[in-house]
Structure 1
Amino acid sequence: MKQEESFLTMCLYFTSNRFARKMTRIAEEAFKELDIAPSYAYVILLIKNNPGITQQELCSKLSIAPSTSTRFIKKLEGEGLIKRKTRWKTTHFNLSDKGELFSKDVEHALSDLRKQVVTIFGEENADNLAMYLTDLSEIIKEKG
């Protein structure tokens, strides 16, 4: 490595963004056959695993802004994959029958993604990296 480029390898901002872009490409490829972006797939799985979840809970679990979750919800509702039910002032989300079937394809694609990541990094490295990034994200959330 050239000395004048060493600042890139030591820059957490640059390195983490480069890594995220590469991981995004891998994830997008894993979900390509489903014609869905990985972010939407995670919304589907969260709703499946948390029936009746609220938009606020989705935002919290995904660390996204309400406006972003609104975009996800509208698209998934438009495709008939999720349905909403409003109780008082709170809206809850569940998968539709179509969404339940589709979630099985999403789980399969996620499993394929996991296999690909493990092939690249090794299982221990993949697990450790995910845990480490989760821990660091929590630190940023608390202190940032």
Structure 2
Amino acid sequence: MSEPKSPYCNCLYHAANAMARSISRLAEEEFAKADLVPTQAFILMSVINNPGITAGDIARQVELSPSNITRMLDKLEARDLVSRSTEGKLSRVYPTPASLQVEPLIKAAWGRMYARYSQMLGKENGAALAQDLTKASSMLDQQI
């Protein structure tokens, strides 16, 4: 393992952002093969796995703000990858035939991303890191 590159490597803020940039580059490379950005892919998986899901439920699943979800859904709808229907004040999101055709590409990209970071970090380290980050994020969210 190489020496840390930054004098700020012991700062959680700095380390988390550096990690986010690295994993984002890897994810962007893989999901680009499905002509999607990673966030769009995860939103589509939520919609495909839960037809009729609300934007609020998508926001909770992918841990983004409702306004970001709405903006992404607008882009996905413009590409005919989702459709929305309104029931009173409730808007539901559904997969389209086009999104179902893209699903195998998304799953393949997700698999390649997992394989790449597992090869770099080790499967156990990658899994532990994901669990630790999820737990830490939840702890911070409860107090912020």
For the superposition of Structure 1 and Structure 2, which TM-score range results when normalised by the shorter chain?
A: over 0.9
Distance in 2 (CA, whole Å) between partners of 1:53 and 1:104 is: 20
TM-score w.r.t. length of structure 1:
0.92
Q: Which structure has the highest helix share of the two?
A: 1
Aligned partners of 1:89, 1:32: CA distance in 2, in Å?
A: 34
Q: Structure 1: which amino acid aligns with 2:68?
A: T
Tell me the number of residue pairs that the alignment of Structure 1 and Structure 2 aligns. Answer: 141
3-state SS of the aligned residue for 1:36? coil
Letter in 2 for 1:12: L
| Alignment RMSD | 1.4
Distance 1:46 1:31 in 2: 16
| SS of equivalent to 1:23 | helix
1:89 Cα deviation (Å)? 1.3
Partner of residue 72, structure 1: 72
Counterpart Cα distance in 1 of 2:135 and 2:26: 23
How far did 1:103 drift? Answer: 1.3
| Equivalent AA in structure 1 for residue 10 of structure 2 | M
2:127 partner SS: helix
What code does the residue aligned with 1:83 have?
S
5 Å-filtered alignment, 1:64-103, equals 64-103=64-103
For 1:38-77, what per-residue CA distance to the aligned partner results, in whole angstroms no more than 9, with x for missing partners? 0100000011111211011111122212221111000000
Paired with 1:66 and 1:124, the residues of 2 have a C-alpha distance of: 33
Corresponding residue of 1:142: 142
Please show how residues 1-144 of structure 1 align to structure 2 within 5 Å. Answer: 6=7, 8-144=8-144
Alpha-carbon distance in structure 1 between the residues aligned to 2:126 and 2:55: 30
Whole-angstrom CA distance in 1 between matches of 2:124 and 2:24? 21
Q: Which runs of 4+ in 1 moved over 6 A?
A: none
Gaps of 5+ in 2: none
* Alpha-carbon offset, residue 9 of structure 1: 1.5
Give the distance between the partners of 2:143 and 2:50, measured in 1 at CA: 28
Runs of 5+ unmatched residues, structure 1? none
